[in-house]
Chains A and B, each alone.
Chain A
């Protein structure tokens, strides 16, 4: 258990995988909100339902477009026919909600009993007339945010190809006309001319609409046009993806989607650091521009200005240390940003490390460490929470980014924590949202500064074992 010495290249380790994270089916929580005409059907047991119900909290009461297909003993022992059962449920959903797509989320149970969801879907799809997308987002294979990856990878197959026929073009034009309704023709062509000549670019990763607008605008400033986004606001608006299109990921956990887009849709992947933090956003834009041979304009000043505006937050964390226990795969990008803010980071725990998909981000992390003159963190894949907590006791980091299972117990032992899941739901992408990341990361420090005078740091009686 030697700690990262003054080494300058990244070290990777792998532990036992006994760590806490959310089940990947949690992706329905944000995806059903993102894709407005979808319905998510999680085919699993009471355990899955209980998790979703509690993890989603109040959202459950807002008539969500998600439900459980709860498996009963008869389903497990195959006394009931899967196809008939699913048909009955899907017809009920069609009648009550009339969605444009039903997404089946396969779980551990459907894996173990080998329910052939991929096989059943096309048959049922044609029978009930609603597209069915199948994603195996189960806890046997994946962690937390990887759930979104499985869904988007499945959706990548459903993205339309551009249609060559004239009338179809006319039709698309008609939609285009409709979208530009009331605007003068010159305006439109002027708008088109704001973009530089480059092959079509499709971005992938589910982000809240305001962040989508924001990133779209950032690229527009460089003359880069985004032809589509996977996923879009509605299933019916999935982007056209043709062979030779360029694609780029906005989140670090989308490796399956990237692979699918490259191998199955023959797209070219722009491997870049992720647009998290002003440094990441700039590197992301620069990489895209460089692929399209565009000279980026004003990015350096823009980044500098953002850093300037963040100074009051950075003052609080400069020189402090942060420890990532690891549960959502955003860890590398967040650590890279926080190191750029002047923090040190002894350990980055991460559920799964795709060194190819995250290559640019990893290089950027290494470069950032060298430029800031701090040791590179050790990267621990499939961490062991028990061992990590022993290391935390030893290292006494100023901030631990961790799941809710450990947050309160660590706080009671005088260790500042930030709940990692908040980074998944907060808006953290682009220049504009860098402030939000720091707002989150510094909150425990600001709060505990306020309470410092009270002298109540350790609130457990004995030096409790864990």
Chain B
């Protein structure tokens, strides 16, 4: 047992659901108790999704405990198959079904006999994997299933596309700025003269998976999601992959050079150096920003970085290598992939922290007292408490981290966005600091906000206590409206009764 207040990566089934709901016309059925379908709320709220999330639960209740699920799971799969005609139904185990040890594989087999679509059991153990690992595994499982199916039916064409082409692997729902990154990557490929063969899993149809081998190579922008699939495609189909995250000016160039090498090996003769130069110097503002006076002022400032592998590593490199910022500590919560992270960032920071305990990172921040933090929503709140500005660079995230405006982290536009994020975090901190030194903008306390400057009304003790219970941000309004009400009706003292009467009359 572990005492836990907060977690960075969610439970395994969330990863599976993220993959299933990213595909078009794929439905997930969770074998779970009532209330475990909270994923639908998150998707509907955070992504402001217009469509119903294609996830339902086959409810585990007392009856199921007593007698086993029996026909229930099978019926739910077949029913969903009839109602919505999905191409694929993914039966998703949860922590509850992990301990029940029901033979879900058998249910899937039986359901498959009656269902028109395909039925799969997600192969993830709740107690062994977290959200990110489960997502990686599920994507691999689905891709493998459809490629083997196509092979059996002799539908698999291994012929490459005429022009160089790429599969972008790992764009998913509820991923940090994934939609924007996807658009940016597609644009980058277009600029490089590379066709996008397939993007998976987001918006993809399972019927198109058999086209994956037609691409010349795979691009895996995120460390956490897609590597297993890319490795599988490399082993089975000899399809090379690029796993350098194009985040930051230097890494984007490195990614492009790797792409150049891979496609030249397959018979083209492209040279992207000119393109990289043009983009770096004139399209992206980040290189110029690094030379400008603004960025000079950031030299040697202390920062702490924490997040998932992809983003924490990329941001650490950008801060240290491209902006001259002193990264005291870089950390990740991807404990299962810690070696990769250490190898990526060791030369760019003083300390490396591998932990999924938010207390540990909070304490480290308090000890280091950096000028800015780049982390998750949790670190943002640590920053609030310690008065240190924080830029959010990785999940877990809130609704404000799903912006409607175009905000990629990848590619050349991504470098601009990151420069803004970094710069805004630091200047805000500086401004705050200066204000404190010089005593704020206004040297006098604000005397009144209009209307009732000097109150001549008497609040009795109970009413005053009640008023104090009103949340701070509306208390002023409640006070003003109540006093206005009391004045109009000629009350000289405000009691609880007057307060309620005011609320009833004017909604104070």
B13: which A residues are within 8 A, CB to CB? 47
A80: which B residues are within 8 A, CB to CB? 1
Contact A112 B96 (CB under 8 A): yes
Instruction: Rank and list the top 5 A-B pairs by shortest CB-CB distance, nearest first.
Output: A23-B35, A139-B33, A405-B40, A412-B50, A61-B381
- When A46-B7, A404-B44 are in contact, do A214 and B500 touch as well, CB less than 8 Å? yes
CA distance A76 to B96 in the complex (A): 11
Contact B61 A18 (CB under 8 A): no
Contact B41 A404 (CB under 8 A): yes
Contact A435 B99 (CB under 8 A): no
CA distance A209 to B467 in the complex (A): 12
Q: Which of B52-60, B115-123, B343-351 is found at the contact surface with chain A?
A: B52-60
B: interface residue count bin: 35 or more
B61-99 near A? 1/0 per residue, CB < 8 Å:
110010000000000100000011000000000111001
CA distance A57 to B466 in the complex (A): 26
- When A54-B42, A108-B96, A466-B84 are in contact, do A21 and B1 touch as well, CB less than 8 Å? no
- When A23-B35, A309-B505 are in contact, do A459 and B50 touch as well, CB less than 8 Å? yes
Contact A20 B37 (CB under 8 A): yes
- When A69-B1, A92-B3, A386-B83 are in contact, do A109 and B95 touch as well, CB less than 8 Å? yes
- When A54-B42, A73-B127 are in contact, do A22 and B35 touch as well, CB less than 8 Å? yes
Interface residues of A in 50-79 (CB under 8 A from B): 50-51, 53-55, 57, 60-61, 64, 67-73, 75-76
Q: Does B45 contact A (CB under 8 A)?
A: yes
CA distance A60 to B8 in the complex (A): 13
A460: which B residues are within 8 A, CB to CB? 50-51
Q: Number of residue pairs across A and B with beta carbons under 8 Å?
A: 189
Contact A47 B36 (CB under 8 A): yes
Interface residues of A in 122-164 (CB under 8 A from B): 138-144
A446-466 near B? 1/0 per residue, CB < 8 Å:
000000000000011000111
**Interchain nearest-CB distance for A156 vs B (Å):** 23
Q: B44's closest neighbor in chain A, by CB?
A: A408
CA distance A23 to B10 in the complex (A): 16
CA distance A91 to B33 in the complex (A): 31
CA distance A142 to B59 in the complex (A): 12
Q: Which of B1, B34, B470 has a CB less than 8 Å from the CB of A139?
A: B34
Contact B3 A89 (CB under 8 A): yes
- When A75-B1, A92-B3, A408-B44 are in contact, do A141 and B11 touch as well, CB less than 8 Å? no
Contact A409 B45 (CB under 8 A): no
User: Residues of B with Cβ closer than 8 Å to A?
Assistant: 1-7, 10-11, 13-14, 32-38, 40-42, 44-45, 48-53, 56-62, 65, 76, 83-84, 94-96, 99-100, 126-128, 130, 378, 381, 384, 396, 398, 462, 466, 469-470, 496-497, 500, 503-505, 507
Q: B2's closest neighbor in chain A, by CB?
A: A70
A217: which B residues are within 8 A, CB to CB? 496-497, 500
CA distance A77 to B3 in the complex (A): 19
11 extra A-B contacts, CB within 8 A, seeds A213-B466, A404-B41, A408-B45: A17-B59, A23-B36, A53-B396, A69-B2, A217-B496, A405-B44, A409-B51, A409-B52, A431-B504, A464-B51, A465-B84
B7: which A residues are within 8 A, CB to CB? 46, 49-50, 53
Q: Does A432 contact B (CB under 8 A)?
A: yes
CA distance A49 to B126 in the complex (A): 14
Of the A-B pairs whose beta carbons lie under 8 Å apart in the complex, a sample of 28, sorted by A's number, is A20-B40, A22-B35, A45-B95, A45-B126, A47-B95, A49-B7, A61-B384, A73-B127, A73-B128, A92-B3, A111-B65, A112-B99, A113-B99, A140-B61, A141-B62, A143-B34, A214-B500, A389-B52, A403-B41, A405-B53, A406-B44, A408-B45, A409-B51, A432-B500, A432-B503, A435-B507, A459-B50, A464-B52
Contact B99 A76 (CB under 8 A): yes
A45: which B residues are within 8 A, CB to CB? 11, 95, 126
A465: which B residues are within 8 A, CB to CB? 83-84
B127: which A residues are within 8 A, CB to CB? 72-73, 76
Contact B48 A408 (CB under 8 A): yes
**Interchain nearest-CB distance for A328 vs B (Å):** 12
Contact B33 A138 (CB under 8 A): yes
A214: which B residues are within 8 A, CB to CB? 500
Q: Does A210 contact B (CB under 8 A)?
A: yes
Residue of A45, A76, A113 with most partner-chain B CB within 10 A? A45
Contact B466 A144 (CB under 8 A): no
Contact B35 A144 (CB under 8 A): yes
Q: Does A289 contact B (CB under 8 A)?
A: no
Q: A23's closest neighbor in chain B, by CB?
A: B35
User: Residues of A with Cβ closer than 8 Å to B?
Assistant: 17-24, 43, 45-47, 49-51, 53-55, 57, 60-61, 64, 67-73, 75-76, 80, 85-86, 88-89, 92-93, 108-109, 111-113, 138-144, 209-210, 213-214, 217, 305-306, 309, 386, 389, 403-409, 412, 431-432, 435, 439, 459-460, 464-466
Contact A109 B35 (CB under 8 A): no
Residue of B5, B59, B384 with most partner-chain A CB within 10 A? B5
B53: which A residues are within 8 A, CB to CB? 405, 409
Q: B83's closest neighbor in chain A, by CB?
A: A386
**Interchain nearest-CB distance for B212 vs A (Å):** 27
**Interchain nearest-CB distance for A178 vs B (Å):** 16
Q: Which of A53, A69, A209, A404 has a CB less than 8 Å from the CB of B3?
A: A69
Contact A209 B35 (CB under 8 A): no
Contact B41 A72 (CB under 8 A): no
CA distance A20 to B130 in the complex (A): 24
Contact A140 B65 (CB under 8 A): yes
CA distance A47 to B130 in the complex (A): 10
Q: Which of A19, A64, A139, A404 has a CB less than 8 Å from the CB of B36?
A: A139
Contact A108 B33 (CB under 8 A): yes
CA distance A92 to B1 in the complex (A): 13
Q: B54's closest neighbor in chain A, by CB?
A: A466
A21: which B residues are within 8 A, CB to CB? 34-35
Q: A85's closest neighbor in chain B, by CB?
A: B1
A144: which B residues are within 8 A, CB to CB? 35
CA distance A85 to B462 in the complex (A): 46
Contact A404 B34 (CB under 8 A): no
A213: which B residues are within 8 A, CB to CB? 462, 466, 496
Q: B41's closest neighbor in chain A, by CB?
A: A404
Q: A412's closest neighbor in chain B, by CB?
A: B50
CA distance A55 to B61 in the complex (A): 22
B14: which A residues are within 8 A, CB to CB? 50
Contact A408 B49 (CB under 8 A): yes
Contact A72 B500 (CB under 8 A): no
A24: which B residues are within 8 A, CB to CB? 35
- When A54-B42, A139-B33, A405-B53 are in contact, do A47 and B94 touch as well, CB less than 8 Å? yes
**Interchain nearest-CB distance for A79 vs B (Å):** 12
Residue of A18, A75, A93 with most partner-chain B CB within 10 A? A18
B57: which A residues are within 8 A, CB to CB? 18
- When A76-B127, A210-B466, A407-B44 are in contact, do A18 and B56 touch as well, CB less than 8 Å? yes
Q: Which of A50, A70, A305 has a CB less than 8 Å from the CB of B10?
A: A50
